[in-house]
């Protein structure tokens, strides 16, 4: 009977330890994560800002679209307006960009109908 209790406790202990390691990996991954608040720049149609989710994690910018907004242009500039990166994406999908230098930046998203959204973010080391 005692041998069975020791075996059960050992199995439970192993499960707890593996759960702790999984959780610490997740926390490490989100260590530099910051949500970017997307604002309306010029919106003439039904607002779609709620379907745009942007975040910065270290030097990696991720923009995710949760609904089909068609062909979308994404422009990344420095806070002073210098061009950094641009691209197009068919939504719903995600766009990922690596920002090389630290500093303040703006991501601007232009929908096919001309509506624009923007978010300001900072890249730190």
User: Tens digits of per-residue pLDDT, 89-118?
Assistant: 999 999 999 999 999 999 999 999 999 999
- At residue 21, the pLDDT reads 44
pLDDT of residue 57: 96
The pLDDT of residue 28: 43
Q: What is the pTM of this model?
A: 0.74
- Of the candidates 35, 30, 31, which has an alpha carbon nearest to the alpha carbon of residue 120? 35
92: cis peptide before it, omega within 30°?
yes
What pLDDT, on a 0 to 100 scale, did the predictor assign at position 50? 93
pLDDT score for 1? 54
- Residue 119 has a pLDDT of 98
For the chain, residues with pLDDT lower than 50 are 19-30
Distance CA 56, CA 63 (A): 9
């Amino acid at each position: 009977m005692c041998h069975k209790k020791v075996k059960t406790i050992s199995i439970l202990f192993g499960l707890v330890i593996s759960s702790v390691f999984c959780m610490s990996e997740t926390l490490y991954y989100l260590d530099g994560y910051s949500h970017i608040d997307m604002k309306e720049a010029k919106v003439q149609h039904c607002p779609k800002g709620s379907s745009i989710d942007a975040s910065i994690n270290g030097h990696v910018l991720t923009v995710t679209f949760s609904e089909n907004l068609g062909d979308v242009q994404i422009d990344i500039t420095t806070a002073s307006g210098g061009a950094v990166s641009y691209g197009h994406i068919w939504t719903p999908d995600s766009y990922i960009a690596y920002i090389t230098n630290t500093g303040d930046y703006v991501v601007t998203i232009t929908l096919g109908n001309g509506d624009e959204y923007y978010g300001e973010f900072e890249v730190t080391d």
